[in-house]
Amino acid sequence: MYDCVIIGGGPGGICAAIYAIRAGMKTVIVEKLGIGGQIALSDIIENYPGFPSLSGGELMKNFEDHAKAVGAEFIYTEVKKIEPSTKGISITTSKDAIDTKSVIICTGAQPKRLGFKGEEEFVGRGISNCATCDGPFYRNKPVAVIGGGDTAVKESIYLSKISSKVYHVHRRDRFRAEKVLRDRIMTRDNIEFLWMTSVEEALGDESGVTGLRVTNKDGKTSDIAVDGIFVFVGISPNTGFIDCDKDSQGFIITNENMETSVPGVFAAGDCRVTPLRQVVTSVGDAAIAAFKAEEYVSELEGQGYESSAKA
Amino acid sequence: MYDCVIIGGGPGGICAAIYAIRAGMKTVIVEKLGIGGQIALSDIIENYPGFPSLSGGELMKNFEDHAKAVGAEFIYTEVKKIEPSTKGISITTSKDAIDTKSVIICTGAQPKRLGFKGEEEFVGRGISNCATCDGPFYRNKPVAVIGGGDTAVKESIYLSKISSKVYHVHRRDRFRAEKVLRDRIMTRDNIEFLWMTSVEEALGDESGVTGLRVTNKDGKTSDIAVDGIFVFVGISPNTGFIDCDKDSQGFIITNENMETSVPGVFAAGDCRVTPLRQVVTSVGDAAIAAFKAEEYVSELEGQGYESSAKA
């Protein structure tokens, strides 16, 4: 019986473990693949305060070392289901079932792929899904933006203030983004719109992306010289194993205490409905979730449950 | 004319600057005294992920280096007033007035002092105001807790799971904390209550705190051997210069986008109403505030304001 089971070994999961273990809770991190999460795929991170510039892999190595320093325990298995039980909360995995008093879900989210040639190959080397994260690496350089929703339009405006030029590629003849965003993007004079245009291929070499091959509505194919390609065609959270309140895309709805609609189950970071998905926001969420999980477990014990805390 | 003025040079202010500058906003940090904030006073920090163990001063040196790496600009002066103006937002300081389109308030909060002998002297060397931060340094050691409100009782319960023994000192004969907390603390068998007892002096030497001298209601003075003293008699935010929605203690009320009740003015970290006050929560808040400030400024520009962004 654990006090706290953390699902996911990315930045949020590791921070939750640091806080949960320091609070005296018997804690384990359950991770499907390996430590690090999405951020481990990033070539360069320059916005986690304290580390001016390093790779995602290096940052997550520091996080992993920190987790080990506080004595974090890991179980490598896939979580299939989380359900309230008579003992507390029961977690079904690919291996053994796990019983716990509280759960913190830190399973993150994955950007959807469009499926063009070179898209997977150049992720982290010129292809990005986050302007806040990677935009500044293309200061005064040309970039392409792909997508027609709110995020694509917002991020295009954002990039137009940093990059020399934005080629905004969209397969339709108008954006489906909300009107205020559609109006705002039209005021930016360094964005060129490529309407009714489909993406064929990311062009590049060992050093990264050098261009984008597109085909317009007349079937004419051309190459645009860009240093970065930003793809905004949605993101998917990893939340299928839990039955709780979610938004239409599957992101978990929490309150400011990171409580989900299931008592004892908390969520932190990219997998929840949140205004921004960054390493710093994940760790902030995770600390609150662990703090509130400790209060929750403490409350259960006040009601006669026995403490399993290791003093 | 700035796009974004950040008030306060602690962890939140520096993270806000990193995000604001990377977003292409013309940004300045206004700080009264020196870089670092409250956390710079901490002897050891072991819960900022990526740095397993270092001093508050060392952590903030890393933050300051990061701020410099992104080209952050600092103005050293005290902010007296923030007001909406015809140009945007006007900031009155001890020196020149500053005009800006957006403001992020990251001015933090200070724990109140009780005023006993040795209290100031041993802060960061055995006297603490945060169990989540410093409790784990007293694993299996005796500590004293001072205070009778919700925070004092919650933190005492928290510490009782980590420390060998908690001496809970209170000047009255009962806690004013809510009933559920009063009930819960009574279930902890390693908390000894010293009712109607006043604190005289923190005892210690070069290595830190060694005990607490107290006087009971009969006027009898005694020394308790403890390694840590946790004082919970309230905290005060530094928010007097802004007229916006606040709670009864002066903490700024924001929504999840860190927007205050004044358009264009955001707040992040310890100075706002938040479930937890930590370096990780401050930086998370700050990133959201900067992201939303950029959107706000971008919206103003869409309405005909000229961009002052440096590309």
Residue B237 pLDDT > 80, yes or no? yes
A51 touches B at CB < 8 Å: yes
A285 touches B at CB < 8 Å: yes
Q: Which chain B residue has its CA at the smallest distance from A47's CA? A: B18
E strands in chain B: 2-7, 27-31, 74-76, 79-85, 88-93, 98-105, 109-111, 127-128, 142-146, 165-169, 191-194, 198-205, 208-215, 221-225, 228-231, 235-237, 265-267
User: Would the CB atoms of A283 and B22 count as touching at under 8 Å?
Assistant: no
User: Would the CB atoms of A50 and B70 count as touching at under 8 Å?
Assistant: no
Q: Which residues of chain A have pLDDT under 70?
A: 302-311
Which two structure tokens, joined as six digits, stand for A50? 């304290």
CB contacts < 8 A (A, B): 173
- A223 pairs with which residues across the strands? A213
pLDDT tens-digit series, residues B37-74: 889 888 889 999 999 999 999 999 999 999 999 999 99
pLDDT tens-digit series, residues A124-164: 899 999 999 999 999 999 999 999 999 999 999 999 999 99
Of A179, A184, A183, the closest CA to residue A160 belongs to A184
Three-point CA angle A62, A65, A67, nearest 5°: 110
Residue of B161, B181, B274 to mutate for A, most A C-beta atoms under 10 A: B161
Residue B306 pLDDT > 60, yes or no? no
Distances (CA, A) of B63 to A146, A252, B69, B193: 34, 32, 10, 41
Domain spans, chain A:
4-110+235-302, 127-231
Q: What are phi and psi of A297, to 5 degrees?
A: -65, -40
A153 touches B at CB < 8 Å: no
Question: What pTM did the predictor assign?
Answer: 0.91
Q: Is B15 labeled as catalytic in the residue annotation?
A: no
Active site residues of A: 130, 133-134
A195 touches B at CB < 8 Å: no
B49 touches A at CB < 8 Å: yes
Count of residues for chain A?
311
Q: Which residues of B touch A295 (CB under 8 A)?
A: 154
Residues 115-144 of B with CB under 8 A from A: 132, 135-136, 139-140
DSSP state letter for A303: T
pLDDT value at residue A303: 63
ipTM of the complex: 0.90
pLDDT tens-digit series, residues B138-166: 999 999 999 999 999 999 999 999 999 99
A256 touches B at CB < 8 Å: yes
Q: Which chain A residue has its CA at the smallest distance from B282's CA? A: A284
User: Would the CB atoms of B14 and A49 count as touching at under 8 Å?
Assistant: yes
pLDDT value at residue A38: 87
Banded pLDDT at B303 (limits 50, 70, 90): low
Residue B311 pLDDT > 50, yes or no? no
pLDDT value at residue B217: 93
B234 in Cβ contact with B247 (< 8 Å):
no
As a whole-number percent, the residues of chain B with pLDDT over 90 amount to 88
pLDDT value at residue B169: 98
Rounded to a whole number of angstroms, the CA Rg of chain B reads 22
Residue of A14, A45, A47, A251 to mutate for B, most B C-beta atoms under 10 A: A47
pLDDT tens-digit series, residues A216-244: 999 999 999 999 999 999 999 999 999 99
pLDDT value at residue A124: 86
Domain B4-110+235-302 shares a fold with domain B127-231:
yes
Give the sign of the dihedral formed by CA B136, CA B140, CA B142, CA B146.
positive
Closest CB from B157, B275, B283 relative to A49: B283
The helix/strand/coil state of B219 is coil
Domain A4-110+235-302 = CATH 3.40.50.970:
no
pLDDT value at residue B180: 85
A71 touches B at CB < 8 Å: no
Banded pLDDT at B304 (limits 50, 70, 90): low
Q: Which residues of A touch B19 (CB under 8 A)?
A: 47, 132
pLDDT value at residue A41: 82
Q: What are phi and psi of A76, to 5 degrees?
A: -100, 105
**Across all residues in chain A, what is the average pLDDT?**
94
pLDDT tens-digit series, residues B3-21: 999 999 999 999 999 999 9
A192 in Cβ contact with A91 (< 8 Å):
no
pLDDT value at residue A66: 98
Which CATH fold topology does A127-231 show?
FAD/NAD(P)-binding domain (3.50.50)
